[in-house]
Every structure is written in C-alpha cells, then in structure tokens.
Amino acid sequence: MIIKIMSNMKVPFVNLGLQHRLIKDELLPKVSELLDTGQFILGEELVRFENAFAGLCGTKYALGVANGTDALFLAMKVIGIQQGDEVITAPNSYLASASSIYLAGATPVFADVREDFNIDPEQIKKVITSRTKAIMPVHLTGRPADLEAILEIAREHHLSVIEDCAQAVCAEYMGKPEIVNFVYYTFITMSTVGYGDITPRIPETQTLAYFLSVSGQLYVAIIIAFLVGKLLMHPGKVIDKKPE
C-alpha cells in the first residue's frame, strides 16, 4: 500500500535565527547596554564571557577574538606555523579551516573523512611528510572526531593538534565535557553571531595568543605614543610649521 502525505509545511534548509529567537528577550537588553557603553572591542563584557566560556569548556583560559578564522590563524601562529609548513585538515569543512592555514603561510593538506564526516586517522597517516607541523581535525555536526587515534599519531610524529570546534561547543568525547587534554589547544570555536574563541591549556600559549590578538591595537598605540612624544619634544617643528 502506498500512502501519500500532503502538507503545505515549509521546512527551511537553514534557520540560524531560531536559536537567537528563543532567548531574544535576554539578548536585546545586553546589546543595548553594550551600545550605550561603546565598548565594542575588549572590555569587561568580553572578560566575563571569556571566564564563563572557559568554565563551560573545562579549561582555565579562553581568549575571545573577532571570528573563528582569526582563532584558527592565531592558534597556528602561537605554535610557530610558518611558510613552507603543512597542516593536515578535513576537505569537507567550511573554507575557514583551510584558508586559515593558508593565511598563516602554510599549505593545507587534505585527509579524507569517515562515514561520520570527520577526518579519518588512517588517511592522516598517509599524507604526513617531513613538512607536516600540525593536524587540524574539524568536529562536524556536533560529533567529535576520533581524537584518541589522532593524538596518538600526533605524539608519534611530534605534531601539534588544533581543533576546529565551530560545530561542537559542549560536545563530549569519551564521556568527558572537554574535547581533549592536549599540550597545545583544546577548542577553536565560533558561533553564528560572528565570534571566535581560543581555549589554550597552558598559560604560556594564552599569553602569546593574547598579545597576538591585540597586536593591531598595540601597534596603533605605539605609533600614537611616538607622535605624541615628537609633539612634546619639538612642538614648534610639528605644530607651528606653515605650509610653503
């Protein structure tokens, strides 16, 4: 017997607005407060969020950056990824995974995935070369990749592991709330509202990641300090000089 079911219901392929709609009444007052303060970069709200997010992820440190691409890029710069290096990642991820590797100066190398759409450790082994410096598993659709096998490969070949967890915040691996306990990084995450976060495990990487993340502001501050110093030292030459 063949049963035909007719329905006018339309199910959107993507509905990112739904997750925010459910907590809209909580979000809008906070957005309004932030607009009133004008503190759009860094600030107390960010510090509070970083502390809360670190607690959620089961790590001591969290560093908020502009977006997930920046988080991945900064993580690679912290561990010394540079031109000529190779980083292994999955071919079916969003372009930020591979493009962040390219932006860091390295070459993305793809290892195929399993039936769960996560990178296959056996395929990783096949593409490791003398130039390989890191592995970037991408935890797709909320399901962590086979980290136990990936970490074993990383230890054997002395490689770093940077995890792209854009789709796996709060995911559990082997019954633990944190994805992995590794020497370099646990999470590189972002949300659909356009935010990135780095959660390193050790204070040295946290400190370096922080200075890299605010280096643009520090650079501007240095230039301003230099110009102010010039004005104070030689006000006549700088301020009173008339155009010829």
Same structural domain, 120 and 69: yes
Instruction: Give me the mean pLDDT over the 196-202 stretch.
Output: 49
Which of 13-27, 49-63, 126-140, 221-235 has the lowest average pLDDT?
221-235
For residues 170 and 240, state if they share a domain: no
d(CA 130, CA 151): 18
Please indicate whether residue 84 or residue 201 has the higher confidence score (pLDDT). Answer: 84
Q: Does one domain contain both 47 and 124?
A: yes
- Amino acid 189: pLDDT: 40
Q: Are residues 227 and 129 in the same domain?
A: no
- Which tens digits make up the pLDDT trace of 138-178? 988 888 899 889 989 999 999 988 888 888 877 777 766 44
| Residues above pLDDT 90, as percent of the chain | 27
Q: State whether 120 and 148 are in the same domain.
A: yes
pLDDT, tens digit (0-9, with 9 covering 90-100), for 89-125: 999 998 889 999 999 999 999 999 999 999 999 999 9
Position 6 in a domain: no
Does a structural domain hold residue 13?
no
Task: Verify that 150 and 224 share a domain, yes or no.
Answer: no
Confidence of residue 126 (pLDDT cuts 50, 70, 90): very high
Q: Are residues 146 and 109 in the same domain?
A: yes
Amino acid letter, residue 26: E
Strand order in the sheet with 86-89: 107-110, 86-89, 132-136, 160-161
220 shares a domain with 173: no
**Domain at 177, CATH number:** 3.40.640.10
Q: Residue 17: its pLDDT value, please?
A: 81
Residue 17 within any structural domain of the chain:
no
pLDDT at 187 over 90: no
Domain range holding 74? 36-213
Q: What mean pLDDT value characterizes the chain? A: 75
Residue 51 lies in a domain: yes
Count of domains for the chain:
2
pLDDT tens-place string over residues 45-81: 888 888 888 787 777 777 887 778 888 888 888 888 9
Q: Clarify whether residues 75 and 45 are in a common domain.
A: yes
Considering the entire predicted model, what is its pTM? 0.70
CB atoms within 10 A of CB 149: 14
- Which residue in the block uniquely carries the two structure tokens 């600030």? 43
Question: Taking 80 as the threshold, does the pLDDT of residue 134 lie above it?
Answer: yes
Strand-pair category, 86-89 with 195-200: unpaired
Residue 169 lies inside a defined structural domain of this protein:
yes
H-run or E-run covering 98:
helix 95-103
* 220 vs 103 pLDDT, higher one: 103
